[in-house]
Amino acid sequence: MKEKRTILFAGDTITIVVHEALALMEVIYYGFTTMEEFKKAWEIILDSDLNQIKVEKMLLDQNFMHVKHEAFSWWMDNWYPRASKKFNFFGNKNIAIVAAVNFVADFQTKEDVMKIRSKCPKLKVEIFGNYDSAVRWLKK
């Protein structure tokens, strides 16, 4: 992706980039992420003005992600309710997830997606085996 982009967060193991022309937010994980960094990154998203920058799609590149289950629980129980009240991002939106190569993380991601689909039925969430497939789906 070579269009204009803005880096919202650059941590030790998470980078968040907004690709403005595509109305896409990309969250990239690079290894074992602490709960502290995970929360900080997602709080930055919550503090940003996604309505202003018109983010409509999200790409979660979890290929090399390692995060504790408690992080996802915090996301569903704490972050998501606050985010859905703050801005309209979580309506009929697409979220593409590049699956982790780590078996445990991949299994956890599949379980988490089932929970997201049941709790957030308007979200269109798909898991892909590689980055390019995820991007193609989001560009449709």
Domains belonging to the chain, first-starting first, are: 5-139 (3.40.50.10600)
Q: Report DSSP state, residue 22.
A: G
pLDDT for 51: 64
* Average pLDDT of the segment spanning 76-94: 74
What are the beta bridge partners of residue 17?
7, 26
* Average pLDDT of the segment spanning 85-112: 76
Name the pTM for this structure.
0.85
Please give the Cα distance from 106 to 5 (Å, whole number). Answer: 28
* Average pLDDT of the segment spanning 55-70: 86
> Is residue 1's pLDDT more than 70?
no
Please give the Cα distance from 60 to 63 (Å, whole number). Answer: 9
pLDDT, tens only, 7-53: 999 999 999 999 888 888 999 999 889 999 999 999 998 888 766 66
Q: Which residues contact 11 (CB under 8 A, 6 or more apart)?
A: 37, 40, 41
Residue with tokens 């704490």: 78
For the chain, what is the mean pLDDT?
Answer: 84
Q: Which residue has the higher pLDDT, 63 or 36?
A: 36
Output phi, psi for 5, to 5 deg. -145, 155
Alpha-helix residue ranges (DSSP H) falling in 14-102:
35-47, 50-53, 69-74, 80-86
pLDDT for 92: 55
- Tokens representing 24 are 């896409």
Q: Which residues contact 117 (CB under 8 A, 6 or more apart)?
A: 123, 125
pLDDT for 2: 58
